[in-house]
Chains A and B, each alone.
Chain A
Amino acid sequence: MKILYVDHEFHKKTESSNFFVEILQGIDHVELETYYLDPDGETLDPVDEYSSMDFSMYDLVVVWQLEILSLPPLAQGVATLIVPMFDGCSQQPDEYWKMISYASIVNFSYNLHANRANLFRYSKLVQFFPNPDEYTQVSDWSDLRVFLWVRRPNEVNPEHVFRLSRHGFGRLHFHLSPDNPHEKIEIPEWMSAYNVTTSSWFSDKSELKALMDEFNVFICPRLTEGIGMFLVESLARGGCVIANSAPTHNEYIAAGINGHLFDFGSYSPLDLSRAEEIGKFARLGVERGYDRWQAQKLEIADFVKLIAIQSVKVPYSSQDAAAAARYYFSNMEKCREFARHMNHIELEDECSENSPASICIPSEMLAGKGDNELTNPMGRDVAVESLRMGINKIPGWNRVKKFVPLNIKNNVVNFLASKQ
């Protein structure tokens, strides 16, 4: 079986998705090729290059996280497996999910599974756990030593942590290594009265690991996660882990049993008096979860074998698929609009002239020659809305418009919009 694994260039560096590649490599008689691309760069060339590939030589294409990239292989009738991450796609509307539902899906998030699995013919829920033996279990609970990796200060920052653990700690540490390396993080001056320490980016991962070994309370740095490696590793250490009450945090932490959850925007102090007990349950959860994960890895292999032999027929062309992928990385609203049109096309309708791309987008735009907003309904709405806002600024207009019938107002605005 020949499998193509598609992933973001970034994961090649972080190696966070390597475990899944290893699972695929471990399947009997599998020939695996990997394809990493950076769709977030200055141009969309990598996306176009990917979309124009010939996928027919593969039995299965596996797309990690960038689920929109399942469309080009699906359009060529190649079985495709997506592995989306909750933090990247949970906000997508129904039409988006419907568009990609011709793929099969492996979910690492229960919430994503519960909300979307019914759209897919083949779906599987799994939960990742690291090997607990690779982490030193917290043993010193003489005081509470709190650790926060400040990755996204607009989501979880030192002040939030201080409020959550108010006066209940012996030491507070901020690892200042934001996702955006240009972002400047400042620790409020008043915190210097407390035992606050900081560190910054380590080139060697083991240094960070050694630093984390000094702590027993860990705050998750983001509001939501796809899996949440920091989260699961902190649980594996048997620490008392605190996180925002959203997936996947709430799928790994049961509040008050093996960790604490807080609601974003509400930071009343948590009761950390049972931190040691909670840490013990955190470790236990990872030990049990790791055993389950070992069994699930074998199930994933069986699942892959099953879906690779399924025939695929989708109601859109390769041209449509390429356009959708472009929109996804350049203009999400347009991508969703496009998905709405895609979903109106019947499966039998394979005529490219009637495809959604030609309905809502002029051909010159598909070729990347230009972008005329007024040729599609969404662009028209934008123009109408900006005119409305302009007219509303005319002094006294708001009083006058009460007396003008709605249909007249709409006709005038539409007329002006079409002239613009």
Chain B
Amino acid sequence: MDDELGKCDEGELRPRLFIADPLCAFDFGHNAQSLVYFGDYFFDRGFDVKCLVSKFFPLQTGRYKEFKKSFHYYYHEYIPIKVGEEENQLVREGHEESIKRLSKVPKDKRPFDALEAVATADWLEIIQTEELTSKDYIFYPSIDYNGWCGLLRAAFILGPEKTPKIHGRFIGVMENATRSTDRPLRVIRSLLNLADPEKKISLSAEAPVYSSLLEKTFDRDVSVSLYPMKASVVPIKEEEPFLVYSAGAGREDKGFLSLLNIAGTYCKNYPDDNVVFRVQNVREKDEKQLTHYVSQIYAAPNMELIEAIQSDEGMADNYADCHFLIMPYDFETYRLRGSAVFMEGLTKGRPFAISAYTGFHPIVEELDTCYNCTSIDQFCDVIHKYYKTSVVEISKKAASTAQEYEKLSYSGMAMIFPEIVQ
């Protein structure tokens, strides 16, 4: 291995690692970007990395064209996807073909419901076509119910000798997305015990709070794994207005309906500050229900409304433009969850205010330029504090926090496949 990057010497075969995300099916969200983060991390540590995504994944640019489209889509009931009839037909035919293979599986090992069956068939096909063996690795960066159950079921069918080494990462988003049971985590626990009685499958969670809960649920070790991101501080611009950015598409659970209140309270509490709040709009399908509220954001002189969906380049520009990040997330939705935006924003060297008691609460407590806020006024006070601080000082502090985060995330990731990752 290469000392610096852990790359393999010439001639030495890299162990194969498949990063799988059946929910990577959209041109928005963080699924695709997270595959790039984890792919880079594992490549630098000596793996031959291949990313497996949904057959509907639309992006074909840059790194995304290397992704292999492997999975059917299991979540039309939750997040419907519109595709052309021709494309749909092809997928449907492939789907029927792969389901037929399950008829050979003994009855006691067959899947629990139809969607799990599709996912199981997908995994059996991947394992067969890629000729996966117990020497290979599968990393599942954001677990969804059907895809993960399908993988565990496939492992159960094949037995430990033919199953690759697996790591599953829970992020608290889609692991409960099923209508077949009201206790999805219990089903996952049963499948884990069936497929892996020796507890070789390793698990982690994105948020520390969630990791503690899952340890109790699964009766297994569940480590914490943040996005493995190096500090890549983007210089903060000197000029005013002081830009506060609420990253991510406008959604109620992401605090979209609090943003006007924060901007309004801010100009009441600190009328002399030259602060502008940049806000991403709600998606088009939700806009008609919220026109008055969005009109108010549109009207506010201290707010800037931008498109709901931002490209990777657009997001990078927004991070570069802003001085401060806020996430007034809904506690009920995020009490076990973290946030991709939080991790990205930190490594780019931006101070952060986030709603208190989210899944990231303990991490926020540890980091210098991050704040857990319990009220609208508190959000405003933290922003004002930074407005009054010089850009040089903010940059220095935030860069140091980015370094702290880097250490934290890399130490967490080191627990995954430790026999290779050093």
Q: In the complex, given contacts A254-B264, A277-B271, A288-B301, what are 6 additional A-B residue pairs having Cβ atoms less than 8 angstroms apart?
A: A118-B284, A250-B299, A256-B264, A257-B302, A281-B301, A285-B299
Interchain CB contact (< 8 A) of B260 among A115, A252, A254, A274: A254
Residues of A within 8 A of B267 (CB): 257, 277, 281
Most buried by A among B268, B284, B287, B301: B301
Residue A114 is within 8 A (CB to CB) of chain B in the complex: yes
Collect the chain A residues with CB atoms within 8 Å of residue B291's CB. 110-111, 114-115
Q: Are B271 and A247 in contact (CB under 8 A)?
A: no
Within 8 A of A (CB), among B253-287: 260, 263-264, 267-268, 271, 284, 287
Residue B292 is within 8 A (CB to CB) of chain A in the complex: yes
Knowing A114-B294, A277-B271, A280-B271 are in contact, say whether A258-B300 is a contact too (CB < 8 A).
Answer: yes
How far in angstroms is the closest Cβ of chain B from A19?
21
What is the CB-to-nearest-CB distance from A233 to chain B, in angstroms, rounded to a whole number?
16
Interface status of B382 (Cβ within 8 A of chain A): no
Which chain B residue shows the least CB distance to A252?
A: B299
A255 with B296: in contact, given A114-B287, A114-B288 (CB under 8 Å)? yes
Q: What residue in chain A is nearest B260 (Cβ atoms)?
A: A254
Q: A118-B284, A281-B267 are in contact. Are A257 and B300 (CB under 8 A)?
A: yes
Q: Is A281 a contact of B295 with CB atoms below 8 Å? A: no
* Docked complex Cα distance between A250 and B264 (Å): 15
Q: Assess whether B205 is interfacial by the CB under 8 Å rule.
A: no
Q: How far is the CA of A289 from the CA of B300 in the complex (A)?
A: 10
Question: What is the bound-complex CA distance between A252 and B303, given in angstroms?
Answer: 12
Q: Does A251 contact B (CB under 8 A)?
A: yes
Least CB separation from B266: chain A residue: A257
B182 to chain A, nearest CB (A): 37
CA distance A245 to B301 in the complex (A): 17
| Distance, CA A247 to CA B287, complexed state (A) | 15
Other-chain contact of B295, A250, A256, A284, A285 (Cβ < 8 Å) = A250
Contact A250 B296 (CB under 8 A): yes
Find out whether the CB atom of A258 lies under 8 angstroms from the CB atom of B295.
Answer: no
Q: A147: shortest Cβ distance to chain B, in Å?
A: 21
Check A257 against B271 for contact (C-beta < 8 Å): no
Residue contact B295 to A110, C-beta cutoff 8 Å: yes
- B residues contacting the other copy or chain, number (CB 8 A): 21
A191 CA to B119 CA, complexed, in Å: 76
- Whether A253 is near chain B, meaning CB under 8 Å from some CB there, is yes
Contacts of A274 in B (CB 8 A): 268
The answer to whether A251 and B299 touch (CB under 8 A), given A111-B291, A115-B291, A280-B271, is yes
A251–B300 CB distance below 8 A? no
List CB contacts (< 8 Å) of A248-291 with chain B.
Answer: 250-258, 274, 277, 280-282, 284-285, 288-289
A-B contact pairs, 24 of them (CB 8 A): A110-B294, A110-B298, A115-B291, A118-B284, A127-B298, A245-B292, A247-B295, A250-B292, A250-B299, A251-B299, A252-B299, A254-B260, A254-B296, A254-B300, A255-B296, A256-B264, A257-B264, A274-B268, A277-B271, A281-B267, A284-B301, A285-B301, A288-B301, A289-B301
Q: Are A281 and B268 in contact (CB under 8 A)?
A: no
> Could you tell me which residues of chain A, from 313 to 341, have a CB within 8 Å of some CB in chain B?
none
Q: Which residues of B contact A255 (CB under 8 A)?
A: 264, 296
Looking across the interface, which residue of chain B has its beta carbon closest to that of A253? B299
In the complex, B297 has a CB within 8 A of chain A: yes
Residues of B within 8 A of A114 (CB): 287-288, 291, 294
Instruction: Name the distance in Å between B141's Cβ and chain A's nearest Cβ.
Output: 35
Q: Is the CB of B287 within 8 A of A257?
A: no
Kindly identify, within residues 32 to 77 of chain A, every residue whose CB is under 8 Å from any CB belonging to chain B: none
Whether B268 pairs with A256 at a CB distance below 8 angstroms is: yes
Chain A residue at smallest Cβ distance from B305: A110
Within 8 A of B (CB), among A188-213: none
Complexed CA–CA distance, A67 and B263 (Å): 37
Instruction: State A280–B284 Cα separation when bound (angstroms).
Output: 33
When distances are taken between beta carbons in the complex, the residues of chain A under 8 Å from B263 are 254, 257
What are the 10 tightest A-B residue pairs by CB atom distance, in nearest-first order?
A: A285-B301, A254-B300, A254-B299, A250-B295, A254-B296, A284-B301, A251-B295, A277-B271, A257-B300, A114-B291
A288 nearest CB across to chain B (Å): 6
Question: Could you tell me the distance in whole angstroms from the C-beta of B112 to the nearest C-beta in chain A?
Answer: 40
Per the bound structure, the CA–CA distance linking A282 and B300 in Å amounts to 9
Q: Which residue of chain B has its CB nearest to the CB of A289? A: B301
Report the nearest B residue to A125, measured CB to CB. B298
Query: Which of B268, B271, B298 is within 8 Å of A251, CB to CB?
Result: B298
Q: How far is the CA of A255 from the CA of B296 in the complex (A)?
A: 7
Question: Closest Cβ of chain A: how far from B399's Cβ, in Å?
Answer: 31
Q: Chain B residues near A251: list those with CB within 8 A.
A: 295, 298-299
Nearest-Cβ distance from residue A20 to partner chain B, whole angstroms = 21
Contact (Cβ within 8 A) B301 A115: no
Within 8 A of B (CB), among A115-138: 115, 118, 127
Docked pose: A257 CA to B275 CA in angstroms: 13
State how many angstroms separate the Cβ of A419 from the closest Cβ of chain B.
Answer: 46
Task: Please measure, in the bound complex, the distance between the C-alpha atom of A239 and the C-alpha atom of B303, giving whole angstroms.
Answer: 20
B109 vs chain A, min Cβ distance (A): 48
In the bound complex, residues from chain B placing their C-beta under 8 Å from that of A250 are 292, 295-296, 299
Rounded to whole angstroms, the CA-CA distance of A253 and B296 in the bound complex is 7
B271 proximity list for chain A (CB < 8 A): 277, 280-281
Contact with A along B37-49 (1 / 0, CB 8 A): 0000000000000
Q: Distance (Å) between the CB of A351 and the closest chain B CB?
A: 30
Using CB atoms, name the residue of chain A closest to B281. A114
Query: Chain B 62-105 against A: per-residue CB contact (8 Å), 1 yes, 0 no?
Result: 00000000000000000000000000000000000000000000
> Per-residue 0/1 for A327-364: is the Cβ within 8 Å of any B Cβ (1 yes, 0 no)?
00000000000000000000000000000000000000
| Interchain CA distance A245-B299 in the complex, whole Å | 12
